[in-house]
């Protein structure tokens, strides 16, 4: 896996052709997102997978009319849990017990629940949301790299109206808040003004502080 090649290959694609992703490639990207690292392993977010052309048309004006919303194959909406309560921790520990075949009593005896209750459920609600959003951004980053590894074009987007998107998708009722979009598809070379733009990043001297 040549990660530098993939990272150098990708860019925030501005125009796409509408061509659909092969089911296998979409599956790989979703599998990668599902395997993302997260604090305590809790993955305090959901990812809404939108293929419907009609729904993407409704979404587009809520994202300042960005073309990729309708020209992509799929749009992923990364939605952080708005809050984390004891029931969510219990659901996680139960699922963990099932995956690992480790009895719940044994997991509890390690003090895992106590630590999660103190560290996460004990935070004020707005901090829980910010914490969950950061975890979702690890998953977003993973999705971006997964797409690049398959030479699928992907555009991460924060330019949208979160409360309007939440309303459109019924996220509030699910205790979710949209934090980022990821459009997946194929670039439209004829119209993508970013295609030829050189990649800019901070120099290593500016980004890294060596101590």
Q: Which residue ranges make up the site for its own copies (CB under 8 A)?
A: 1-8, 10, 12, 28, 30-37, 39, 41, 43, 46-52, 55, 95-96, 99-101, 119, 130, 133-135, 137-142, 144-146, 149, 156, 158-159, 169, 174, 179, 197-204, 206-211
CA distances to 2, 164, 190 from 168, in Å: 39, 6, 32
For its own copies, give the closer residue by CB, 47 or 84. Answer: 47
Q: Given CA atoms 120, 169, 174, 37 in this order, what sign does their dihedral have?
A: negative
Residue carrying the six token digits 């139960």? 94
Least distance to its own copies from the beta carbon of 104, Å?
13
Shortest Å, Cβ 132 to its own copies: 11
By beta-carbon proximity to its own copies, the closer residue of 2 and 105 is 2
Nearer to its own copies, 182 or 188 (CB): 182
| CB of 51 vs its own copies, minimal distance in Å | 8
SS3 76: strand
What is the C-alpha to C-alpha distance for residues 52 and 44, in angstroms, rounded to an integer?
25
Q: Cα separation of 59 and 67, whole Å?
A: 11
Minimum CB–partner distance for residue 134 and its own copies (Å) = 4
Comparing CB distances to its own copies, the nearer of 47 and 62 is 47
Give me the residue label for tokens 């490639």. 25
Both tokens of residue 112?
């895992």
């Amino acid at each position: 896996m040549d990660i530098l090649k993939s990272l150098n290959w990708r860019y925030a694609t501005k125009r796409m052709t509408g061509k659909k992703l092969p089911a296998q490639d979409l599956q790989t990207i979703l599998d990668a997102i599902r395997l993302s690292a997260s604090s305590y392993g809790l993955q305090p977010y959901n990812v809404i997978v939108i293929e419907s052309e009609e729904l993407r048309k409704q979404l587009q004006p809520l994202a300042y009319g960005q073309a990729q919303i309708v020209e992509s194959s799929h749009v992923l909406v990364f939605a952080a849990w708005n809050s984390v309560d004891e029931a969510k921790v219990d659901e996680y520990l139960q699922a963990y017990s099932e995956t690992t075949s480790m009895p719940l009593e044994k997991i509890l005896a390690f003090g895992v629940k106590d630590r999660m209750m103190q560290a996460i459920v004990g935070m004020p609600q707005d901090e829980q949301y910010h914490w969950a959003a950061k975890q979702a951004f690890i998953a977003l980053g993973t999705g971006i790299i997964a797409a690049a590894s398959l030479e699928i074009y992907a555009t991460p987007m924060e330019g949208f109206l979160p409360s309007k998107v939440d309303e459109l998708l019924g996220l509030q009722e699910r205790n979710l808040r949209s934090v980022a979009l990821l459009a997946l598809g194929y670039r439209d070379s004829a119209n993508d003004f970013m295609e030829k733009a050189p990649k800019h990043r901070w120099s290593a001297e500016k980004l890294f502080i060596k101590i």
